[in-house]
Amino acid sequence: MISWIADNIVTLQKLGGLWLAIGAISLLLTLIALPIIIIRLPADYFVRQDRVTVASSSAHPAVVMMANAFKNFVGIVLIIFGAIMLFIPGQGILTMLIGLMLTNFPGKYHLEQKIVARPAILRTLNRIRERAGHEPLAVR
C-alpha cells in the first residue's frame, strides 16, 4: 500500500487539487444561488395542495420533456454537490434540499416537508428570507 502511494503521489496530489477545486466552486455557487432560490420560494410552498409543474404548462411536449430532463439533471447535480458539502465547507443539507425540489420522484413532497420541518433547517431558511424582507415559510 505504501509503495502504491509513493508511486502515485502525483496523481493523488492532482485528485486532492480536484477535490479542493470542486469544493471551492460548489461553495461559491451555493453562496450565490441558494439565497436567491430560498427568497423566491412562495411562503406557502411547503403547505400547498396544488403543485405547479413544467408538465402542466401549455408548451410543446418536446419542450416540456427537455425542460424536465434539464431540471432533473440540475437537481441531481445539486444533490451530489450537497452530499460532497457534508464533508467540505458549504451548505450541504440546504443544497441537497434545493436539488430535491428540482427533481421529480414519488414521495418528493413528503420528503421536502420532513426536511424543512427540522428546526435548524427552517430557522436558517427563514433567517435568509427575513433578511430579504420576505415572510417566513409556512410548514405543517
**Per-residue DSSP letter, 103:** S
Give the DSSP H or E segment for 115. Answer: helix 108-116
pLDDT of residue 90: 65
Cβ proximity of 96 and 83 under 8 Å: yes
Instruction: Say how far apart CA 128 and CA 27 lie, in whole Å.
Output: 17
What pLDDT is stored for residue 12 in this prediction? 59
Residue with cell 450537497: 82
CA 19 to centroid of chain Cα atoms = 19
How do the pLDDT tens digits run along the chain, 140 residues long? 667 666 666 665 666 777 777 777 767 777 787 788 889 888 888 888 776 665 566 678 888 888 889 989 988 988 888 888 788 766 787 788 888 888 888 888 888 888 888 999 899 999 999 999 999 998 87
Per-residue pLDDT, 130: 94
> Mapped to the 3 state alphabet, what secondary structure does 122-135 carry?
HHHHHHHHHHCCCC
18, amino acid identity:
L
pTM of the predicted model as reported, rounded to 2 decimal places: 0.61
Cell triple for 41? 420560494
